[in-house]
Amino acid sequence: MKKKWFDLKIFREGFRQLSLMALAFLGILLLTSLISILQQPLSRHGISITPRVPQLMSPLSLQPLIAISFCLTAPFLTLKAFRFTTERRGSDFYHALPQRRECLFLSLLGAAFAWVMLILAASALVSGVAASCFPAYYRFSWADLLQYNLVILLISLYVAAVTACGTFLSGTVFSNVLVSLLLLFAPRIIIHTITGCIADQSFMLDRNFLPFPYRINLFSDFVYSFLNSGDSRLYGRSLFHWGRILYTFFALILWVGAGAFLARKRKSEAAEVPVANPRVRALVRITLAFLVWLIPLRSLLVHEHYSSFDYGIFGLFILLAFFGYELLATRNLKSLRKSLPSFGILLILCLGSLFFCRGCMRMAENWQPEAADIQHVRIMDSRDYYYMEDNSLFSSRIEETRITDKEVHRLVAELLKKTPARVNPGYAYHISAIHTKYTISKTIAIKSGLVERYRTILLEDKEMEALSAALSKDEAFVKAYMELPDEKDSGIVVESIIRPDEDNKAALQIYRSLKEEVKEIGFTEWFNMQNNPISRDSSASIGLQSNRQGLSSRASFTISKKLPRTWALYQQLWAEANRQNRDKLIGWIDRALAGEESGTELRIQGASDINIRAFNSSTGEDIVGYVTTFAYPDGTGVLKEGQLKKLRDILSGLSLPAGLEPEYYGPVQIDVSAYNNEEDLNCMFTGETFPEGLRELLNP
């Protein structure tokens, strides 16, 4: 008789059994998505937030709680589908069914998979449709949303498959959860900590020193990104990485296969027994104790100073994890004696890991390829410049650029050889290890042979100049710097602090001018302008929002005087906008005065708040701090009619600067911001002296 691997009737029954829980999860996802999307359009009717350019929505912004799909939905549905493994009556019922165990496993797992798929599909569809209803507020890509959800689906199925394996390795709900968590996280925590221990011993290494991505698993990468920074850029980067997608897909297949194997091998009497198999139990207790060992391991390797007492406490925790688990699982003191041999294995593993980390660090540090062996290098900019954080669009383009110029390779190989001697020994990963002479560090991905390795090099100023000069000859690198994104691209939004007009004309005009002028000034000037914070000699800037393949990124380009045309245009447009804002503010006050009725108190109709700050434009010292004139219902803090008239007269008499830069300001700068239910506006005034009338008005 032909072996049956999947039964539609069991699948349907499993699907039905999971429906209540699945619909609850679907409800949560849909609700959070809708709230997140509707929040902005609805709030604009009540709270004053000025409409700006449409927000580029990453899939994560559209489905903010999508992570529950694999954090909660997939594991809980799987635990429910295989609930029978934890209770004897259910175990009897399901194991007596006229089906092979693999068929039962695959059909029920299929039911959990189907729900996860449905939930994600429904969530993506509803979020997408809802966001499409507000084109003035949101812009997003259906393709990105689809791809993102497919990747989340892959992660969710992976988690479901691992959880299913966990259920077939144990026999109570608690042990199901514990074993599943260990299967999901223990390998990642071990790899992550061990690589960290190796990398932290040397300044030159970072966690990517391994010849393969240590966060290749999408699930752990996502969780790591989330815990580490909550940075959506990281989600995007990892989620659309084909290597990671393929790895996770094959891992999913393997886990499903392993689950089917375990379902076949598992004894039905294991239900209600925490972990019946003594070998699995040994593996669990060794893993738990080894995870505890990783804490002192790191401190032993990087010379963090724990006291003997601290190490004693760690030792106790290791013993507690090892024997405590055994005692909990078996509730039999005799089993402790039986578990002693595996304690020996734990000791060997602990000592082995210590030597392994040391050895790996030495090997990695000694890896110094010749220039001729280097195929390409990539400059990992975002790792070195904190101020590049707001420039992720730009830095990610640079990081993706493979530099093949031989001179760059030669310099990198040379610097790689010099760097170990530039680091003070004994202080390995501490920043104090770096000699003050070498102020610049660069993390570089170096491809030599089949794999890429990441190393951090230390440079002097002269060496940096030489490297920049060499980089300027690399066509791909120059192109990455010089070719700014097309503003007509639907995945790009140009933004500026200048109040956007209907078509965002001002920002687009400045950006177009910038693009043209960048070409004219050439690579070196532009490269230095973007890389050297000191060269940012202007407070004018233009920003870009980008959203591609779930990767949200931004760029902020300083408009320096080295770009004279763009700089002048920026000042001109800014001054124009400032003037319009002033007129509008005066108009609000006039309207308020015209609507006067009470005679004693005046509510500022149309301008509920006005904030005024006056300060010395050269020293930045406050003349009058922030003053808020609120229109409280009881009338307190509200400017009286006379005061408002006075304020109008003073503001009308103040001069407006011809541009944003300090050179356009007199000794005194006065910033006024106001907002009402429709919009907010900011206006800057300048003068030779602070108008005393204003001081009296604000500080009566």
Partner 1 sequence: MIETINLTKRFNDFTALNRVSCRIPKGSIYGMVGTNGAGKSTFLRAVTGIYRPEEGSATVDGQPVYENPAVKNRLLFLPDELFFLAGANMNRMADCYEAFYPRFDKERFRFLSENFRLDPNRPLRSFSKGMRRQASIILALSCHPDYYFFDETFDGLDPVMRRLVKNLILEEVAEREATAIITSHSLRELEDTCDQLALLHEGGLLLQSDVQDLRTSLFKLQLAFSEPFDRSRFAGIDMLHYEQIGSVAHLIIRGNQEETLARLRIMNPLLLNLVPLSLEEVFTYEMKQLGYSFEDVFGHEKEA
Binding site for partner 1 (CB under 8 A): 1, 4, 9-10, 12-13, 16-17, 88-93, 95-101, 103, 264, 267-269
Please give the Cα distance from 139 to 552 (Å, whole number). 12
Min separation Cβ 447 and partner 1, Å: 51
CB of 346 to partner 1, least distance (A): 24
Structure tokens at 122: 């429904």
Q: In the bound complex, what is the minimum distance in angstroms from residue 328's beta carbon to partner 1? A: 18
510: part of which helix (H) or strand (E)?
Answer: helix 505-521
Nearest in space to 208 (alpha carbons), one of 192, 230, 223, 225: 192
Rounded distance between C-alpha atoms, residue 156 and residue 55, angstroms: 28
In terms of DSSP H, where are the helices of 560-616?
A: 564-594
From residue 427, alpha-carbon distances to 369, 424, 438, 502, 695 in Å are 25, 6, 16, 57, 56
If the CB atoms of residues 153 and 270 are measured against partner 1, the closer one turns out to be 270
Minimum distance, C-beta of residue 96 to partner 1, in the bound complex (Å): 4
Q: Tokens 């949560």 belong to which residue?
A: 28
Consecutive H or E run containing 615? strand 609-616
103's enclosing H/E stretch is helix 101-132
Shortest Å, Cβ 107 to partner 1:
10
Question: From the CB of 267, what's the least distance to partner 1, in Å?
Answer: 6
When the beta carbons of 268 and 616 are compared against partner 1, the nearer one is 268
482, burial (CB in 10 Å: exposed 0-12, middle 13-18, buried 19+) = middle
CB of 17 to partner 1, least distance (A): 7
Shortest distance in whole angstroms from residue 277 CB to partner 1: 11
Beta bridge partners of 611: 628, 673
Burial of 334 (0-12, 13-18, 19+ CB in 10 A): exposed
Q: CB-wise, 78 or 673, nearer to partner 1?
A: 78
d(CA 413, CA 446): 9
Q: Which is nearer to partner 1, 100 or 536 (CB)?
A: 100
Of 85 and 91, nearer to partner 1 (C-beta) is 91
Report CA-CA distances (Å) from 334 to 244, 292, 328, 340, 401. 45, 24, 12, 11, 62
Cβ-proximal residues to 487 (8 Å cutoff; 6+ apart), any chain: 494, 508, 511, 512, 515
Query: Which one, 14 or 550, has the nearer CB to partner 1?
Result: 14
Based on CB atoms, which residue is closest to partner 1, 107 or 141? Answer: 107
The minimum distance between CB 354 and partner 1, in angstroms, equals: 37
CB of 84 to partner 1, least distance (A): 8
By the 8 A CB rule, do 506 and 496 touch? Answer: yes
Q: Taking Cα atoms as reference points, which of 48, 41, 245 lies closest to residue 137?
A: 41
C-alpha to C-alpha distance for 286 and 19, rounded to whole angstroms: 38
Residue 123 sits at φ, ψ, to 5 deg, of -65, -45
97 or 254: whose CB is closer to partner 1? 97
Q: How far is the CB of 18 from partner 1 (least distance, A)?
A: 11
Bridging pattern class, strands 138-139 and 374-379: unpaired
Sequence-distant contacts of 342-346: CB under 8 A, at least 24 apart: 342/282, 342/285, 342/286, 345/282, 345/286, 346/286, 346/289, 346/290, 346/293, 346/318, 346/322
Q: Which of 556, 554, 557 is nearest to 236 (CA)?
A: 554
**How far is Cα of residue 370 from the mean position of the Cα atoms in its chain?**
36
| Cβ-based nearer residue to partner 1, 7 or 200 | 7
By C-beta, is 267 or 695 nearer to partner 1? Answer: 267
Q: Is the dihedral of CA 461, 468, 446, 392 positive or negative?
A: positive
Which of residues 19 and 532 has its CB atom nearest to partner 1 in the complex? 19
Name the minimum Å distance from CB 278 to partner 1. Answer: 9
| Residue 393 exposed, middle or buried by CB count within 10 Å (0-12, 13-18, 19+) | buried
CB atoms within 10 A of CB 146: 15
- Residue 272 beta carbon to partner 1: minimum distance, rounded to whole angstroms: 11
| Of 10 and 434, CB closest to partner 1 | 10
Residue 628 CB, shortest distance to partner 1, in Å, is 58
Q: Smallest gap, in angstroms, from Cβ of residue 113 to partner 1?
A: 18
- As a residue count, the chain comes to 700
The token pair at 460 is: 């002097």
Quick one: 280 or 586, whose CB is closer to partner 1?
280
Residue 90 CB, nearest approach to partner 1 (Å): 6
CB distance 523 to 578 below 8 Å: no
Looking at the Cβ atoms of 13 and 601, the one nearer to partner 1 is 13
The answer to whether the beta carbons of residues 442 and 377 sit under 8 Å apart is no
Nearer to partner 1, 1 or 47 (CB): 1
- Please say which residue, 103 or 670, places its beta carbon nearer to partner 1: 103
Task: Give the nearest distance from C-beta 274 to partner 1 in angstroms.
Answer: 14
Cα–Cα dist 497/487, whole Å: 17
Nearest to partner 1 of 46, 98 (CB atom): 98
Token pair listed for 78: 């799987």
